[in-house]
Structure 1
Amino acid sequence: MKIAYWSDFNCPNSDIGLNRVKQAAEELNLDFEWEMKAFELEPMLENTPTIPTVTKHAIKYGLTPEDAEAEISEIEEIACEEGLNINYKDAKVSNSRSAHRLVKFAQKKNPEVTQDLVFKIYEANFTNNRIIADIDVLSEIACEVGFSEDEVKTMLLNNSYDVEVNIDEEDARFNGLYSIPFYLIMINEEQLSIPGAFGKEDFKIAMEDLLNGEIRYKSFI
């Protein structure tokens, strides 16, 4: 059983959606192989943030600062209901490419700890408001799941796994995927594509129907 998903560390809905998928799998006692696929929402972001998140959100979506702050507060409230402590308003949104490269490195070297690494990067960005473009920050997170600081820093400084990130993003474009989060759940010979951060119960229903063969009679999109 496998769950492949396209997301970005600068997307709070990706964090919320992944948490829901994880909870659904755990409540059903399902053991999945996880694969994160890179999808940079804003690849031109600088490594050192200079614009407050509220301002960036307002510019990106054509909102007033007041409306942007209201939308951000709504996202934070939804996350809180899911048990996530997200402080999106104060997040220092930075370039996420190195974080994606680190995940590719982890998937290659020790796939068993990759999901833990993914959640820790989300936490660093949205809860602790650290700069995830910072190699020192990423190295520290990688050490928490068992990697060597020297090995990780060498990899990041050499731009290793850049090609793998490009392949994920090209694959997304080839398949007409232009928004995230996006989940591909595969059980036995059946698979289901789910765009967006559906509710936990919806994910559970999808997984159950994949298991019992009922998925062909239903649509979750």
Structure 2
Amino acid sequence: MYITLVHLTLGCLFLALLLSWIAGNKASSLLYSKSEQQLHQRAKHLIIWTIVLSIPAAAALGGVVTMAVKLPPDYDLGMLICVPILTLSLALLWARSIPKLLRMRKNTGRKSSEPLPVRMLYRASEPAFILPYQLLSLCMLTIFYLTLSVAVSLHSMPLTLPLSMLGFAAAILWIIHGERSSRVTLPKAKLNRRPSERMVRRLAIAIAIVLLAGTPYYNAFDKIDLPEALIMTNNADNMHSFGFYIEQ
């Protein structure tokens, strides 16, 4: 049961990580819409993506909560930290990005073929709209490693480094999107989009995510046999070195 729970949780985390990063790229590309009609259609697709990615994210949250409940009190700190991180990132997505998407669709209801006004371009480039998607993917990556660490070693890894990296990456993304959003309002601003460079960059990011997340996962589970169940006991003969009984 325990090994199955770990695999399902990590699988949901990885799926939500990929979907949220793709959705973040789609949110970032709304700025390059040529007309109200195109922005209206892209906003609709992004809403669908948000709903789809929320399903594995919610499943991962349930798995993390279950693991935190099943682990002994001395070793569940990493899992307990994951719960508010994942909950807040999902809440931020639905509380900030989705309302902005709905307003975009409402404001582009005419589906005109005319170029978008600066006001609409600014709203499509706001950091508060784009960042929740990319922040969710960063949170998924952080929680993936915390969950894998707890599952394999049955104790929490130091939390300072991954949480610091999460905050640093979020701050960098906020600065990047803020700088791009400020350029939209400049007179005669040109929005240059280079599809080839964007495709190469996204492919590199996807490969990096697969290598970083997949390699430790398979190496860890090839070397370590996880218990089928965790049962608290006072029987010293059957005690694991971390202080709980491993059911064979």
So what's the TM-score if we normalise by structure 1? 0.29
- For the pair shown, the structure with the greater C-alpha radius of gyration is 2
- TM-score calculated relative to the size of structure 2: 0.26
Which of the two has greater strand per residue? 1
